[in-house]
Amino acid sequence: MRRNHTMLQFFEWHIPNHGKHWEDLAILAHEFSIHGIDTVWIPPACKGMTQADNGYGIYDHYDLGEFDQKGTVRTKYGTREELLKAIAVCRKENVQVLADVVLNHKAGADDTERFEVVEVDPDNRLDEISEPFEIEGWTSFTFPGRKGNYSSFTWTHHQFNGTDYDAAQNRSGIYRILGENKAWNEQVDEEFGNYDYLMFANIDYRNPEVQDEMINWGKWFIKTTGCHGFRLDAIKHINYSYVSRFAHSMKEAYEDDFYFVGEFWNPDIEAKKQFLDQTDFAIHLFDVGLHYRFHQASLEGRDFDLRTLYDGTLVATHPTHAVTFVDNHDSQPGESLESWVEDWFKPIAYAFILLRADGFPCVFFGDYLGIRGDDPIPAKKELLDPLLDARYHLAYGEQTDYFDHANTVGWIRHGVDDLTGSGCAVVISTGDEGFKDMQVDQTLTGSVWIDVTGNRTDEVEVSEDAIGRFTVNGGSVSVWAQKKYGLRRIEAVEERS
């Protein structure tokens, strides 16, 4: 049978600049596989504007840590050779690799150019606040260290439609580049009037040469690395029609199972629906709305009504296109979109994404392996592994919900015939210690169940009418499984380790 899929985001903002990240992935791939993690989302692998860049200040799409550019051969994460080796190891462990792809902008130009712009209001990019004038912008990308390897395409201001710095006046602003057929791209998020421009030198997808070049690059990257899918960064800032064309071009070249998920950081469900419609549902989206509901619930505690948790979420309206997550690199403390889910609520939130039928769950590196930096946050691996194991071994079959109390909710996964011992009972409390009387299959009368998280040490015996009184500690989660199979499952994981 097909096992549940689980993704791990394999980075956070404070990964050290030691060039060992790809090596670490190769080392950890086997352990990930043991706990049912079959997909890893890796950080941007292309050369950034500095060695310390996390990859989003992208300089050269074709340099994966191979050429001496921007004062470094390797990227923050390692060399091209180490990247390819890590992907090969993941493939051997049946772990697919999802590459983070930055299509929106370029940074760290090799030289400046003079060209005409108009300055726009940062709060309404459709509102021009100057007459046309000339600036000196960092928009010339010639990649002298690569010397035309893999692609001879170079970039000038003609391939961009906006920038944020005038070197002649040492002045920052948002400058729309003028010229024939130059404008902000339409079919982008409507925040700030038009949210085509995000940062650095903004790539102009009205330009046919640019469109073709980025599709050629995507095919080159897939063929070179052997990755299994793309996580597309900042797609609400890129012409939706082009995003659709890019995705379909990759799928046509590398078969329909090549996977896409996009970062569309907007909790508004209607905006997500519009994007999915306009891209022909070629891309899955991270469920930002659910993340914010988790954040709110973690702050409000018992005052939050768990029965409303899924209101306004993508997993509720488009479950087959939702990638669910608790936190990520953008929401972690100190970042621009900080909305950190409180630690007490983390196991509860992960139970909601890992043990329910809908959504493709993504576990955050910062939760699983910890956050470094000046204000480190410890790893929660010992709390999350039991939930991952429960997803891999137990959380299958039809789902019956018991969302009938503001602070104590639960559900039954009834299991499947071809996975012996599958099925589980999940109970969550954000208030006091409690229980849920929940009905399992009639064939399980008299069976004894244990909490595989270890949070509860009591046992539950299912009654003659197939009802079990499944208990939970206050502010906690318990995952109940049949005792005779639950213990075998734990032993099996230990043996595989």
- Statement: residue 256 has pLDDT above 90: no
- Statement: residue 488 has pLDDT above 80: no
In which residue ranges of the chain is CATH 2.60.40.1180 found? 399-496
Binding residues: 104, 183, 196, 204, 237
Q: What is the pLDDT of residue 493?
A: 46
pLDDT band at 426 (very low <50, low <70, confident <90, very high): very high
User: Could you give the CA distance from residue 412 to residue 353 in angstroms, rounded to a whole number?
Assistant: 14
Q: pLDDT (tens digit, 9 = 90+) per residue, 171-229?
A: 999 999 999 999 999 999 999 999 999 999 999 999 999 999 999 999 999 999 999 99
Binding residues for Ca(2+): 104, 183, 196, 204, 237
The answer regarding whether domain 399-496 maps to CATH 2.60.40.1180 reads yes
- Statement: residue 491 has pLDDT above 60: no
Architecture of the structural domain at 106-207: Beta Barrel (2.40)
Q: pLDDT (tens digit, 9 = 90+) per residue, 332-365?
A: 999 999 999 999 999 999 999 999 999 999 999 9
Q: What is the pLDDT of residue 497?
A: 46
In which residue ranges of the chain is CATH 2.40.30.140 found? 106-207
**pTM as predicted:** 0.95
What number is the average pLDDT over the span 6-13? 98
Residues 238 and 205: beta-carbon distance below 8 Å: yes
Share of the chain above pLDDT 70, in %: 97
What number is the average pLDDT over the span 275-287? 94
What number is the average pLDDT over the span 154-161? 98
Q: What is the pLDDT of residue 117?
A: 98
- Statement: residue 492 has pLDDT above 60: no
- Statement: residue 495 has pLDDT above 80: no
Q: What is the pLDDT of residue 255?
A: 75
CATH of domain 7-103+209-393: 3.20.20.80
Q: Mean pLDDT score of the chain, rounded to an integer?
A: 96
What number is the average pLDDT over the span 255-283? 92
Q: Which of 45-49, 127-131, 253-257, 365-369 has the weakest average pLDDT?
A: 253-257
| The pair of three-digit structure tokens given for residue 5, joined into one six-digit string | 């899929």
Q: What is the pLDDT of residue 486?
A: 61
pLDDT band at 496 (very low <50, low <70, confident <90, very high): very low
pLDDT band at 284 (very low <50, low <70, confident <90, very high): very high
In which residue ranges of the chain is CATH 3.20.20.80 found? 7-103+209-393
The residue type at 74: R
What number is the average pLDDT over the span 395-407? 98
Q: pLDDT (tens digit, 9 = 90+) per residue, 413-422?
A: 999 999 999 9
Q: What is the pLDDT of residue 485?
A: 81
What number is the average pLDDT over the span 43-54? 98
- Statement: residue 465 has pLDDT above 80: yes
pLDDT band at 376 (very low <50, low <70, confident <90, very high): very high
Residues near 362 by Cβ (< 8 Å), separated by ≥ 6?
Answer: 7, 8, 9, 41, 286, 323, 324, 325, 328, 353
Query: Active-site residue numbers?
Result: 233, 263
Residues 7 and 41: beta-carbon distance below 8 Å: yes
What number is the average pLDDT over the span 117-138? 98
- Statement: residue 310 has pLDDT above 70: yes
Q: Which residue has the higher pLDDT, 492 or 66?
A: 66
